[in-house]
Structure 1
Amino acid sequence: MSENIKAALSGEKSQPESSSIDIIQTAFENDENNNIYDNEKHIGKRNIAHRFIDSFRKREDLPESYEIEITPSGQEHQVSKSKLDQGLPPRISSAMSLCTGVGTGLLVSGGKSLHYGGPAGLTIAYGLVGMVVYFVIDAASEVAVAYPTVPGGFNACYSILIDESFSFATVWLFLLQWLTVFPLELITLSLVMQYWNTSVDPDVWVLIFYVFLICVHMFGTRGYGEVEFIFSICKVLLIAGFFIFAIVINCGGGGKDGYIGGKYWHDPGAFQGPTAETHFKGICYVLVIAYFSYGGVELSTFNVAEHANPRRSMPSNVKKVMYRVLLIYFVPLLLVCFLVPYNSPDLMGSSGASATHASPFVLAASLHGVRVVPHFINAVILISVTSVSNSAMYAAPRLFYALAELGYAPKFMKYIDRRGRPSLGILVCAVIGVIAYSTTSPQREQVFTWLSSIAGLSEVFTWAGICINQVRFRQALKYNGRSIDELAYKTKTGIWGSCFAAFFSILVLIAQFWVALAPIGENGKCDAEVFFENYLAVPIWIVFYLGYKIYKKDWRLWIPVNEIDLDGSRKIYDVEVLQQEEAEYKEQLRHKGWLARAYAFWC
């Protein structure tokens, strides 16, 4: 133990006005900084290989590493500091809020949505879910900024604000989603590569991207962020280019078919199927695909503990997420609906014998005689799918760490190395990713289907939980007589947006149950295999939920509002300080140019 700590514990004070808690905290911080300096000085004399190996040693953060917060009643309480690497600057977090998660769900599975829902069904479903996305991200941001250091972000808040069994089931299902998304995206990568080359063994492509992604995460949070930043730029350029390209082709400028207009909305039609029932069932089917497609938007709030300044970055993220919903998802898919008929045999997800599993964005060019552009689009799709794999490798290990901190997973999963990486979590995800080497198996399609069946409905539970979190948080504030002015970020719709989003998510679960019982294209006949392919996530959640209830012998549906530990892990913001900072920020903006003011308002 250092002399600083001994002096603090013995009651010797260098500054009479400081409390013993402040002295101990300062002593620990000084002692830790000295150790880090000595370690880095020692490591600097060694070669790169030794430094790399040493980086996996356990991080020497002490349990007493905390911040002291003062509640409005004047009481002190400790808020643990995050042990994870806080290396995401606003530049990277902004790019992530725009494009993280844009991959298979949009660029590949969008074809399945078009095939089963038709252009009108796709437009309705993605429009409704896009509205839900705003309420979800708004609610998640309020809770995330209030609890910025809780491991796992909104996932950990379930156990504080709702119920431990709900938390256990939902977080484990969320973890399973990202664990399965990693091999799922690797399989998709091999399919995308087959657009150019079908002679190379698909496992070769899986191996190349598998090794690349593992290497990226050896550089920690900053490595992930920088790679994701580059990927995001590529995706934005694709979408911007596709806007221009789609409009030109639709108007007859360059395509072999001349002016297209709304041709495919009339022939083969706006909806798939001949009856109103099949039209409605198609919309219900596409709703879940839309949840899967939009999946990943919540990662911008999940990693709030690794943001440099969450109070400033989160409001900006909410705005950017809405631009993402409108410009990255909705408008491009709407343009695809004007260029690709839903009954095209080459469309991904179609049942035609000659299906080539092509992305609808690639077909939008190739069907109209454009030769070079499909290759550029397919290249960016490859980057986008790699980006989602990258996000899965980022999210899943941190979820393992959050589960371990909550007591829902083995304690050794709390291992954080000296670079702030959850190393054991990354190792587990890498092992599970080996499933992707099933690409050469005759059962490849079944593996893909079962993996996606887990990932799809998980978002429904996660988004509903986020919204319930925010409602319960506001109820606890009201019960304890606390003002919402204490919040550094407040939702624009109060609790009503969250109530709508949670209710809509429940309706989606009911609609998917109907579609799973009477699937499209099966003459309405119920089949056990088809049912679980479409509804597997729900039984998994129920088993987790009831199993934890039995284990804990706690049969309450939720934590009573008077028992919610409102301030235990919350960061307390001083109302006067918040108002002063906001006034200073507005004053700074007032002296800047109109371009800076416009950017601050819209972004």
Structure 2
Amino acid sequence: MNPQPTLTKAGASAGEPGISQPSDGLKAGLKNRHLSMIAIGGVIGAGLFVGSSGGIAAAGPAILVSYLLVGMLVVFVMRMLGEMAAASPNSGSFSAYADRGLGRWAGFSIGWLYWFFWVVVLAVEATAGAVILEGWIPAVPQWAWALIVMVVLTATNLASVASYGEFEFWFAGIKVVAIGAFVVIGLLAVFGVLPGSDNPGAGFAHLTDAGGFLPNGAGAILTGVLMVVFSFMGSEIVTLAAGESEDPRRAVTKATNSVIWRIAVFYLGSIFVVLTLLPWNDKSIVEKGSYVAALDSIGIPHAGQIMNVIVLTAVLSCLNSGLYTASRMAFSLGERGDAPKSFAKVNGKGVPTTAILASVVFGFGAVWANYAYKDTVFLFLLNSSGAVALFVWLVICFTQLRMRGILMREAPEKVTVKMWLFPYLTWATAAMIVFVLGYMLFDDANREVVLLSLLVAAVVVAIGLVLQRVRPKPAADAVPAQRTEDAVPAAPVTEDARG
């Protein structure tokens, strides 16, 4: 095992925990409060606010089971990822671990697929935000709003990692407070104890009074799974961001241990409130959106505009994190020789400028395609990246199966977070993900997404296998960069130093 050198702060002892700097030139600019809010907000995407109504219409109250099943998948996957990230914090996260555990082709493939996923998400979220902003200020065209949003958040990410962390802290904070307030106010209305509420307060009656808990049959649960699974993407961002924090192991451990209550409160809790405030087949859920309909039933004025503000915040948060995530994955790929070396350069503030700009350029291209070629080019980009979330989770499963043995042989004291019931639960999680992918092939609405995603993945994997054969991995890169307390200090290489 050849750990790469680690830089510690000037005047600090390398043996002091929690003060080491990343060995790759990135700055430890994220504070504990940033990481905590990134971890909490990472599981709250705009998809929760705008996509839940479709799932409710398809499965009825049983959508709660769909959310529960997907939530369990995320908990297990995060536990596996947390095990590896706590032992070896790295800006490339699961891509770097796949590189070590499965082979360079695996790290190359999943890294580029993940980057592709997020740069397409940039276009989706920029457009969604532009639609809301144009509704408020129609004098500015939609494409201009998309451009403004992208430019502002690009500037934020280019400034410093602390700027990203600060923006995300407040974006995620608004989402957390909004959902927390929604759950509390909604439950009070459900039991008829909210003063001035217009809701009849039927208790749990709406869970069964419109055709039962399974009005569309048990099969609708799986349909619901397909509709909600992609709204959970983003929970893994904290493991990438931890590499730029003051105490990555503590941050990863805390995020991993808290993922259960985060999913329980924000997803299951908020959807449960919607379903107990209104019958699942109430037309307003589809027409207005589930959360707006629920707020209207209570009698809260201007519910639609309130929700637009919250959704816009979620969109900006997703954009901010998407750009950060894509750039750090590009940085890690460049560092390992799987992307242009310029991607691994950082400026004097420890910001990977080239990696950020490269991600933004592709994101701008996708935004343009969304306006110019919405039904052709952009539709292909959207569909061909749609199943990447499931591919990432599957790779994390197989990587953890290999990395557990490696870590226990080489540094067992660093395995402070362990996957439950290893290896049985890991295999069961992988089997569930494969089942979901297979079920999607038989679903008319998702078949094209899976096939195009598999096609793009096959091409990327083929390139990775070829590169692995023609370009053997140097010994110095055989292990992801780590934050080891006993490593030899070394200064990061910056663009300024390279001239």
Specify the TM-score bucket, using the shorter chain as the normaliser: 0.7 to 0.9
Deviation at 1:460, TM superposition (A): 1.1
Match 1:186 to one of 114, 126, 137:
126
Q: Please give the alpha-carbon distance, in whole angstroms, between the structure 2 residues aligned to 1:467 and 1:313.
A: 21
TM (norm. structure 2) is: 0.82
Any residues of structure 2 matched to 1:495-506 within 5 Å, and which? Answer: 495-506=423-434
Change (3 A) 1:309 1:571: closer
Q: Please give the alpha-carbon distance, in whole angstroms, between the structure 1 residues aligned to 2:106 and 2:226.
A: 21
User: Aligned Cα RMSD in Å?
Assistant: 3.5
Deviation at 1:244, TM superposition (A): 2.5
Any residues of structure 2 matched to 1:461-540 within 5 Å, and which? Answer: 461-477=391-407, 480=409, 484-516=412-444, 519=445, 531-533=447-449, 535-540=451-456
The one-letter code of the counterpart of 1:295 is: M
CA distances 1:99-150 after superposition (whole Å, capped 9, x unpaired): 1252222111222222333221x211110121122222222122112222x4
Q: Is the 8 A contact 1:284 1:512 kept in 2?
A: no
For 1:386, the equivalent position in structure 2 comes to 316
SS in 2 for 1:515: coil
Deviation at 1:392, TM superposition (A): 0.4
Change (3 A) 1:289 1:448: farther
For 1:362, the equivalent position in structure 2 comes to 292
The one-letter code of the counterpart of 1:381 is: V
SS in 2 for 1:109: helix
Match 1:236 to one of 162, 176, 191:
176
Q: Is the 8 A contact 1:86 1:306 kept in 2?
A: yes
CA distances 1:162-181 after superposition (whole Å, capped 9, x unpaired): 12222222221111111111
For 2:494, the equivalent position in structure 1 comes to none
For 1:142, the equivalent position in structure 2 comes to 83
For 2:210, the equivalent position in structure 1 comes to 267
For 1:203, the equivalent position in structure 2 comes to 143
SS in 2 for 1:303: helix
The one-letter code of the counterpart of 1:221 is: V
The one-letter code of the counterpart of 2:26 is: L
Report 1 or 2 for greater relative contact order, CA contacts < 8 Å, sequence distance ≥ 6: 2
For 1:546, the equivalent position in structure 2 comes to 462
CA distances 1:348-396 after superposition (whole Å, capped 9, x unpaired): xx6xxxx5xx442122223565323432232122111110110001010
The one-letter code of the counterpart of 2:180 is: A
For 2:496, the equivalent position in structure 1 comes to none
Any residues of structure 2 matched to 1:124-523 within 5 Å, and which? Answer: 124-148=65-89, 150-193=90-133, 201-251=141-191, 253=194, 254-256=196-198, 258-261=200-203, 262-263=205-206, 265-267=208-210, 270-271=213-214, 273=216, 276=217, 279-280=218-219, 282-343=220-281, 347=285, 358-366=288-296, 369-434=299-364, 435-437=366-368, 444=374, 450=380, 452-477=382-407, 480=409, 484-516=412-444, 519=445
Change (3 A) 1:510 1:363: same
Q: Please give the alpha-carbon distance, in whole angstroms, between the structure 2 residues aligned to 1:550 and 1:272.
A: 51
- Residue 97 (1) aligns with residue 39 (2): yes
Deviation at 1:399, TM superposition (A): 0.9
Change (3 A) 1:87 1:417: same
Match 1:113 to one of 52, 55, 60:
55
Deviation at 1:85, TM superposition (A): 1.8
Deviation at 1:272, TM superposition (A): 6.2
Deviation at 1:271, TM superposition (A): 4.4
Change (3 A) 1:384 1:196: same
SS in 2 for 1:296: coil
Q: Is the 8 A contact 2:91 2:240 kept in 1?
A: no
Q: Is the 8 A contact 2:440 2:447 kept in 1?
A: no
Q: Please give the alpha-carbon distance, in whole angstroms, between the structure 1 residues aligned to 2:229 and 2:259.
A: 15
CA distances 1:387-430 after superposition (whole Å, capped 9, x unpaired): 01100010101111111222222222222111111111211222
Deviation at 1:94, TM superposition (A): 1.0
SS in 2 for 1:419: coil
**Identity over the aligned pairs, expressed in percent?**
25
Deviation at 1:343, TM superposition (A): 4.7
Q: Please give the alpha-carbon distance, in whole angstroms, between the structure 1 residues aligned to 2:255 and 2:81.
A: 11
Q: Is the 8 A contact 2:207 2:213 kept in 1?
A: yes
Deviation at 1:213, TM superposition (A): 0.9
The one-letter code of the counterpart of 1:212 is: V
| Range that drifts further, 432-441 or 94-103 | 432-441
Number of aligned positions between the proteins? 467
Deviation at 1:294, TM superposition (A): 1.4
